[in-house]
Amino acid sequence: MNANDVIESYVVDVMRRVPAKDRNEVGLELRGLLTEMLDDRAQAAGRAADDAMVLGDLRDFGTPTEIATRYRPSDMRAEIVVIPGEQTRSFALWSIGGMALQWSLTLPRVFDGSEPIAVWWFGSGLGAFWWPGFLAMMYLLRAWLHSRGLFMPKWTPRIADPDRINRGGMIVGLAAFVIGMTFMIALP
pLDDT of residue 98: 92
Q: Give 68: exposed, middle or buried? Use CB within 10 Å, 0-12, 13-18, 19+.
A: buried
Q: What is the mean pLDDT of each run of 10 residues along the chain (188 residues)?
A: 80 86 88 87 83 82 83 60 82 93 91 91 91 91 81 73 78 93 83
Taking Cα atoms as reference points, which of 165, 157, 161 lies closest to residue 1? Answer: 157
pLDDT of residue 101: 93
The domain ranges of the chain are: 3-77, 85-147
pLDDT of residue 1: 63
* AA letter at 142: R
pLDDT of residue 77: 47
Q: What b/e readout covers 131-152, taking b as 16+ CB neighbours within 10 angstroms?
A: bbeebeeebeebbeebeeeeee
